Structure 1
Amino acid sequence: MSVATNAFLDMLAAERGAAANTLAAYRRDLDGAEEAIGDLASVSREDVARLSAVWSGLAPSTVQRKSSALRQFFGFALEENWRMDDPSGALPKPAARRPLPKVLSHDEIERLFSTAEDEAASDRPAAVRMLALLELLYGSGLRATELVSLPLAAVPRDAPFVTVMGKGGQARMVPVSERAREALSRWLKVRQETDSKFLFPSRSKYLSRVRLFQMLKELAVRADISPERISPHVLRHAFATHLLEGGADLRVLQTLLGHADIATTQIYTHVDAARLVALVNARHPLAQTRTSD
């Protein structure tokens, strides 16, 4: 790896606080590009254009990620005088962006919760646990790993928040609804006594992500919803989409989801175009001026 690319990685670690996994991913992408076309601090625009052929067999999402890494490097190199030009315009442009996650309708969410609540009425531990998991997935937008690895100490007592350890070891405060707090309280009453420090323990350590996937799909079948339409990520996306539809600010949503970059939130959320048009017509100052005239 060249001196310039090492300097770029050092900057990511020092100034942006990039996690080890993030740095490793950038290193792999930059290493691969340098193996293909040479030192990124001195390659020409024509060299960069050759990456289209080198990456031709890769998925569009992978090309997009690699191009993003190089684009950031070239911007850094220009600012730090490693280069006198920015050849990023010659980077491959993926044919399509990654598809948005599947979206559950409000009716499907209601059916899912209705089924879970009916089953939890029996106070069977497995059913009560399922309801608590569902409330936290949809009510707080937690990632699957964040949810299953919650420590027992994370259960809110006085404050309606739970501290979650997200990607890159970044902690964030996530609000917990009254419904979710009630479901957690019910779960703690039937949770088997154990020395485990985790909220959702299992024989190995804590409930696995794979088992969470299975439980959700089984619940979907009982709620007359196609199991292919549901996963922890789909519920997280539904949380974001439905909040945005309800008028939540995008920056607030970014914080709730634990996204480091607002661009990730913009890609992740799916908003009805008609609702956006109606919002502009109703809220834009000029629209209000015309109405008052």
Structure 2
Amino acid sequence: MLAYRHAFHAGNHADVLKHLVLAQVLQYMVDKGKPFRYIDTHAGAGGYLLKGAQAQKNAEYREGIGRLWSRADMPAPVADYVRLVHDFNLPGPDEQGNPPVIEKGYTPPLALYPGSPSIARALLTPGDALRLFELHPADARTLMTHFGGRRNAQILNEDGFAGLKSQLPPTPRRAVVLMDPSYELVGDYGKTVAALRDAMTRFAEGVYMVWYPQVSRVEAVQLPKRLSALAPKGWLHVRMTVAQPNRQGFGLSGSGMFILNPPWTLHATLEAVLPWLTQQLAQFDGASYHLEYQPA
């Protein structure tokens, strides 16, 4: 677990799908006008330097957010997501605290990529709460530096699988939970199912999002079916396949998101967006997507 650093993969095709879905879910919750709690069980560092040594090792962002950065023909939900990344790359205030002067239509260089906590911070209102779990000590310190001063924010240097129990049920009784462990340890698949089962027992009304990698592991293939059994109120499963495994059958072919109690608008949004997005991110002729929805 501690060996994993998301900085090596920041902004790749899996991040595009994950953060597109996350932004849609959070915006839906915000539009309801009622405070809620956002809980991130594996928050990471909150933001990543794409020109840094880790991100540059394989430069995965070039086949993800890099393919969308300068597009002018994006569907509205994709454009909204890209705008969040765009704003994360804008210069901050000067030494005197004055806001920067930015010309209309200016597109900054793609130098930074926001993690899930930064996507959430950009969308949540002052009345909403952030609960960010991160086990890696260096990433937890980075989160504390950038999020510790925010009202209603808590950064917890703890195991998010175990810590989720302390956050449910929330006050007020509205919550969005994102679980996206690295799955480097095969036991993470079982821990994800167990944590979600417990969470549904404690707070069945919550919106729960689980990200998973599309890799040559039976546990990854079985995970969506195991999660569907936990969702009596309905679920949505989206998977996007954009790359081929290597000759040994390994590598990240794509990724998926499984949402328990999804917003009713999410299926139609993804149904309209996925054909375009899959085509733009495709790295081989067989790129495809899968979208399945079980209403409540």
- Place the TM-score, normalised by the shorter chain, in its bin: under 0.3
Give the TM-score of the pair, scaled to structure 1: 0.23
Give the TM-score of the pair, scaled to structure 2: 0.23
RCO greater where, 1 or 2, for CA within 8 Å and sep 6 or more?
2
Q: Which has the higher strand share?
A: 2
Larger-Rg structure: 1
Q: Which has the higher helix share?
A: 1
